Structure 1
Amino acid sequence: MLHHLIKIVMFIVIGVCLSSCGSLIKPNVKTGIVQLEKGSYKLDQAHVAVLFKINHMGLSTFVGRFNKVDASLEFDPANIAAAKLSAVIDMASIDANNPDLEETLRGSSWLDADKYPQAFFKTTSVSVIDQNSAVFTGELTLHGVTAPVDLTVTFNGGANNMLTGFYTLGFSATTTFSRSAFGIDYLVPAIGDQIAIEVFAEFQQQ
C-alpha cells in the first residue's frame, strides 16, 4: 500500500515538473515593430513553412508547400523603410503529398525545375501598414521571369529563445500573383492562374 502511494506521489511530482517546464521556457514575447531588436537575421530552418494555394477545377483549393527555403533579413525598427529581405526557394523541393504529382509539377509544363532550379525574392522598398505589419515590395524571379510582387509581412513579436540561445523574430507573410505572368500558364483556367503564397517563419539574430 505504501509502495503504491509513493508511486502515485512520484507521478504527481513528475507531472507538475513537466507542466512547469513549458512555463519556464516560454519567452517573454514583445509585440509591435518598435519593440523589436535591430540586427541581421537568418532564417531558422527548423521553423519555416512556405505554402502555396491554387484553385483546382473550381471545386477546391489545392495546398502544397516547398520544403527547402533560405532567407535573410536586415531590420531596424527605427527605420523600417530600410529593411531588406531576401529569400531563395528550391523548386525541386515542392511537396504535394503525392510523389507522382510532384514529379509532374517539377516538369517542363509547370515549374521546369531542371532549367529553373530556384526562385528568388528581394525587396526594393518597404512601407508600414500599422504597428505590427508592413508591405515588402520586391522582385520575384520565378521560371526565368522577374516581376514585381508585394509581400504583406506581419511581425508576430520578438524574444530571447532559451532553447536556441538566439533572439528570435516571429514572422508571417502573404502574397498573391498570377502564375501566367511568369510563363507558367499550363491548364489555365481549369487550374487557377492566381497563386496565393503563405509564409510562416522565425528569424534568428546573428
Structure 2
Amino acid sequence: MLKKTFTALTLGAALFAGQAMAADYAIDKQGQHAFVNFKISHLGYSWIYGTFKDFDGSFSFDAARPEASKVNVTLKTASVDTNHAERDKHLRSGDFLNVDKHPTATFTSTRVESTGEGTANITGDLTLNGVTKPVVIAAKFLGEGKDPWGGYRAGFEGTASIKMKDFGIKMDLGPQSENVELILTVEGVRK
C-alpha cells in the first residue's frame, strides 16, 4: 500500500512539475509604466483624449499557456483627466461617470483566447457607472525579462471599444461620439 501511495504521489508531482505555472504580476503604476487612456470623437471633427491617473491591478501570465492568464484592474473614476478642468468636472458628474455614486470602475477577466503569436482576446466583465457588461480587449504581448533593479517584468498593450449607453451614460453627444476607444498599456512587476 505504501509503495502504491508513493508511486501515485511521485507521478502526480511529475505531472504537476511538467505544467507551466502562470506568474503573478503587480501593475507598475508607481513607475508610470502603465496607462488607462481613452479617446472619443468630438462631433466627428476631432478626438478628445484622456486618461485615468489612479488605478491599480494585477495579472497572471504564462507565455506557454496564455489561456491561463488572468487580469484584474480597479480604477478611481474621479481621476479622469482630459487636460481641461471644466470638461473633467462634467465627466465626473451624473451626465457621465457619476463618481459620487460610483467611485470605482473594475475589469475582471473571464477568458483569454490566443489569436496568434503574441496576441490574444481578453474577455472580461467591465463595471462602470454601476453597470457590468462583457468587454473584449485585443491584447498584444510586448515582452518580458529582468529589469535593472533585480526584478522581472512583463508588458502588454491593448485596445477595446465600449458604447457609452451600454453603461448607463445617457448624455447624447451625437452618433459620432457613441463609442469610447480604450487604449491600454500595462507593465507588471513579478511578485
**Within 1, Cα distance between the matches of 2:127 and 2:80?**
17
Structure whose CA Rg is larger: 1
1:167 is the counterpart of 2:187: no
The answer as to whether partners of 2:114 and 2:120 remain within 8 angstroms in 1 is yes
1:159, distance to aligned residue in structure 2 (A): 1.2
1:67 is the counterpart of 2:49: no
Amino acid at match of 1:41: Y
**Counterpart among 95, 102, 105 of residue 119 in structure 1:** 105
1:198: which partner in 2? 183
Deviates more, 1:188-197 or 1:90-99: 188-197
1:91 is the counterpart of 2:91: no
Alignment of 1:1-206 (within 5 A): 38-45=22-29, 46=31, 47-162=33-148, 164-189=149-174, 192-206=177-191
Deviates more, 1:120-129 or 1:187-196: 187-196
The answer as to whether partners of 1:179 and 1:195 remain within 8 angstroms in 2 is yes
Q: Give per-residue Cα distances to partners, 1:170-194, cap 9 Å, x unaligned.
A: 1111100101100112023166110
Q: Give per-residue Cα distances to partners, 1:127-150, cap 9 Å, x unaligned.
A: 001111111101100000000100
The answer as to whether partners of 1:140 and 1:149 remain within 8 angstroms in 2 is yes
1:110, distance to aligned residue in structure 2 (A): 1.1
Percent identity, aligned pairs only?
33
Q: Give per-residue Cα distances to partners, 1:80-110, cap 9 Å, x unaligned.
A: 2121101111100001101121111101111
The answer as to whether partners of 1:40 and 1:72 remain within 8 angstroms in 2 is yes
Q: Secondary structure at the match of 1:41?
A: strand
Deviates more, 1:95-104 or 1:139-148: 95-104
1:38, distance to aligned residue in structure 2 (A): 3.9
**Within 2, Cα distance between the matches of 1:52 and 1:97?**
13
Amino acid at match of 1:203: G
**Within 2, Cα distance between the matches of 1:157 and 1:71?**
19
The TM-score with structure 1 as length reference comes to 0.79
1:32: which partner in 2? none
Amino acid at match of 1:177: I
The number of residues matched between the two structures is 170
Q: Which runs of 5+ in 2 are unaligned?
A: 1-20
